[in-house]
Amino acid sequence: MSVVWILGALFALLLARVPVAFALGGLGLALLLLGGFSPLMAPQAVLSTLDGFILLAVPLFLLMSNVLLKGGVGADLFAAVQAWVGHWPGGLAVATILSCGIFAAISGSSVATAATIATVAIPEMIDRGYDRRFVYGLLAAGGTLGILIPPSIPMIVYGFVTEESVIQLFLAGIGPGLALMSGFIVIAMIHARFFGGAEPVPAASWSERRRASARAAPSLALAALIIGGIYSGAFTPTEAAAIGFAASLVVTGLWLRTLTWTGLREAAFDAMATTVAILLIIAGAKVFGKAITLYRIPQDISVLIGQTIETPLAFILVVSVVLLVMGLVFEALSMVLIMTPVLLPAAMGLGFDPIWFGIFMVVMVECALITPPVGLNLYVIQAVARARMGEVARGVWPFLALMLGTVALLYALPDLALYIPFKL
Amino acid sequence: MALLRTAFAALIRALAGIAAVLFAAAGAMLTYEVVARYFFTAPTIWAAELSQLCLIWGTLLAMAWALDARRHIAVDAVAGLLPDGLRRITEAAAMLAVAAFSAVVAWHGYAIFATSFARGRTTGSMLDLPAWLTELAVPLGFGLLGVQALIEIGRALSGDYPRPREGGAE
């Protein structure tokens, strides 16, 4: 029954606050030593992880997002979208979600998306009399579109550990991303209709619309360049990230002239810190993954699940509950890295497509990002809005329900994800 | 001793700055690669390999700073509930575990480096760089991380442990 004590030891280390990367790597190394396997596998696993070309996309996408955030493109983007839809019922909320969706097509990070749009949207919405809790929930949840609409760092990580195509994962995220975005917009309009109270925004004139759109055009062009380039095969996701970074420097530094040297330094330093944290967890997970495979843990769990869970529906329900509960206390990406190697063999045994399963995991990660007490997007909104955690956390419930609804829809209609990569 | 610690803190902070520059440089090289390929039909043989080298060295050199700056991701939910005395002890124990892990990886990482160096092994890729050029980053990075973890044990016992939520990833 080595499954029980290995997972027990892992959770004990994690809860004692050993950094996730070193808890995974350290336990993996201990298992290698105990099992009489060569400990040289540990440094080799670290090297082979960092030698992955696809993972170079992580710092580069982060650099691009951070440069755009520091260059203040969020304000231009929001102003442009607002000029078009601001006068609709719940117009500012709709504009917020659309802005999150567009920025998500540039950025691979939910934190960067939430931070970029929240900085401009929150003050504006609150000034116009929107309910605070609703605003915070909307931004925390809208930010998670950043990792479902390509590019997406969690998808890069999932693709790397499962050796699936990152491009197919990206394409599979588009359908569910648009579905979720539409759902958010519906919630925003229903909220405006029944809980109203927000001061309406007058429709913008055509000249205002033209001016605002022109200023946001570089961001839109950037999104088109990245998605178009990856989709057409003109460049790899890693190259797209590099070009996106270079283009973001041109847009904010030369065209809009909003990027300062200090801003650039902060952007680079912050991207570096986040990259190091993410890549080391992947390296740690690789050491751990090697060790548990030698102990045949994934196979044992797969057999166990095969014996107790008979239908794919029951499997997805159980896995969703487990991920939801883990997501309460776990940092989201670590959750993917710990659970994917354990669950994917069982999922494939039940007939799930590994790309579909990746998208399912990403939506569950989005839930983990906004469930208290530990949800990264909650912290972002709390910090940007200088709000109380409780207020932010209470605002996310309707959006969380919608995300779980998206999971159900994804289960009922797998083509929502798989149509674009495989059947188009 | 205090002087040594200040010097070490300055060193790992400088290495973190170098890591940030290396990542940005990787972006520049790959952009150049795409531009050269499409506009001058002259793909490079060095961009992919050198940018990968930037990623490896940058990540491993900045690890120790990330521990000092509390930028590694950890699960705070339970540890945050412990009373101060117990919290100091668990944090010190956690850092002891990190130190032990670093020491073992640094040791075996050094063995890999030393073998490659002695035998003159190369990567067998386009540039055919010496293999030790990447492998050296492991013992150096984990060595620095181990030293920082030992410093963190002292910090934890004196009550200077990470407060809830200071960094995060995706």
User: Using a CB-CB distance cutoff of 8 angstroms, which residues of chain A are in contact with residue B98?
Assistant: 18-19, 22, 26
CB contact under 8 A, A234 and B38: yes
CB contact under 8 A, B78 and A15: yes
Higher pLDDT, A384 or B7: B7
Assess contact for A147 and A109: CB atoms under 8 A: yes
Nearest to A242 by CA among B147, B134, B31, B8: B31
Distance from CA of A186 to the nearest CA of B (A): 27
Backbone φ/ψ region at B167: left (φ over 0), alpha (ψ -120 to 50), beta? beta
Q: Is the peptide bond before A151 cis (omega within 30 degrees of 0)?
A: yes
Q: Is B90 on the interface with A (CB under 8 A)?
A: yes
Q: Could you say which residues from 151 to 170 on chain B have a Cβ atom under 8 Å away from some Cβ of chain A?
A: 162, 165, 167-170
Q: Which of A26, A53, A56 sits opposite B101 (nearest CB)?
A: A26
Q: Which of A13, A153, A330 sits opposite B97 (nearest CB)?
A: A13
Q: What b/e string do you get for B88-98 counting C-beta neighbours within 10 Å, with b at 16 or more?
A: bebbbbbbbbb
Q: What is the dihedral of CA A249, A252, A258, A262, to 10 degrees?
A: -20
Q: What is the 3-state secondary structure (H, E, C) of chain A?
A: CHHHHHHHHHHHHHHCCCCHHHHHHHHHHHHHHHCCCCCCHHHHHHHHHHCCHHHHHHHHHHHHHHHHHHCCHHHHHHHHHHHHHCCCCCHHHHHHHHHHHHHHCCCCCHHHHHHHHHHHHHHHHHHCCCCHHHHHHHHHHHHCHHHHCCCCHHHHHHHHHHCCCHHHHHHHHHHHHHHHHHHHHHHHHHHHHHHCCCCCCCCCCHHHHHHHHHHHHHHHHHHHHHHHHHHHCCCCHHHHHHHHHHHHHHHHHHHCCCCCHHHHHHHHHHHHHHHHHHHHHHHHHHHHHHHHHHCCHHHHHHHHHHHHCCCHHHHHHHHHHHHHHHHHHCCHHHHHHHHHHHHHHHHHHCCCCHHHHHHHHHHHHHHHHHCCCCCHHHHHHHHHHCCCHHHHHHHCHHHHHHHHHHHHHHHHCCHHHHHHHHHC
Which residue in A22, A160, A338 has the most chain B C-beta atoms within 10 A of its own C-beta, making it the best mutation to test that interface?
A22
CB contact under 8 A, B69 and A154: no
Q: By CA distance, what is B111's nearest residue in A?
A: A40
Which residue in A18, A230, A367 has the most chain B C-beta atoms within 10 A of its own C-beta, making it the best mutation to test that interface?
A18
pLDDT digits (tens, 9 = 90+) for A290-304: 888 888 888 888 888
CA–CA distance, B29 with B45 (Å, rounded to integer):
11
Distance from CA of B45 to the nearest CA of A (A): 15
Query: Residue B76: is its pLDDT beyond 80?
Result: no
Q: Which of A21, A29, A332 sits opposite B104 (nearest CB)?
A: A29
Distance from CA of A290 to the nearest CA of B (A): 15
User: Using a CB-CB distance cutoff of 8 angstroms, which residues of chain B are in contact with residue A376?
Assistant: 168-170
CA–CA distance, A126 with A112 (Å, rounded to integer):
21
Give, for all 424 residues of chain A, the pLDDT tens digit.
Answer: 577 888 889 889 988 889 989 999 999 999 999 999 999 999 999 999 999 899 999 999 999 999 999 998 889 999 999 999 999 888 999 999 999 999 999 888 898 899 899 999 999 999 988 999 999 999 999 999 999 999 999 999 999 989 999 999 999 999 999 999 999 999 999 998 888 767 778 888 999 999 999 989 988 898 899 888 888 888 889 999 999 999 999 999 998 889 999 999 999 999 999 999 999 999 998 899 888 888 888 888 888 887 888 899 999 999 999 899 888 877 778 888 888 988 898 899 889 999 999 999 999 999 999 988 778 888 889 888 888 888 888 999 999 999 999 999 999 999 999 999 998 7
Supply the pLDDT for residue A398: 93
CB contact under 8 A, B27 and A271: no
Distance from CA of B158 to the nearest CA of A (A): 17
Angstrom CA distances, A189 to A91, A97, A117, A180, A278, stand at 8, 11, 19, 14, 37
Backbone φ/ψ region at A227: left (φ over 0), alpha (ψ -120 to 50), beta? alpha
Distance from CA of B117 to the nearest CA of A (A): 16
Assess contact for A56 and B55: CB atoms under 8 A: yes
pLDDT digits (tens, 9 = 90+) for B110-155: 999 999 989 988 887 878 888 899 999 999 999 999 999 999 999 9
Q: Is B122 on the interface with A (CB under 8 A)?
A: no
Supply the pLDDT for residue A320: 93
Query: Residue B71: is its pLDDT beyond 60?
Result: yes
Q: Which of B55, B72, B79 sits opposite A277 (nearest CB)?
A: B72
CA–CA distance, A142 with A140 (Å, rounded to integer):
6
User: Using a CB-CB distance cutoff of 8 angstroms, which residues of chain A are in contact with residue B144?
Assistant: none
Higher pLDDT, B164 or B7: B7
CA–CA distance, A138 with A126 (Å, rounded to integer):
12
- CB-defined contacts A:B, below 8 A: 220
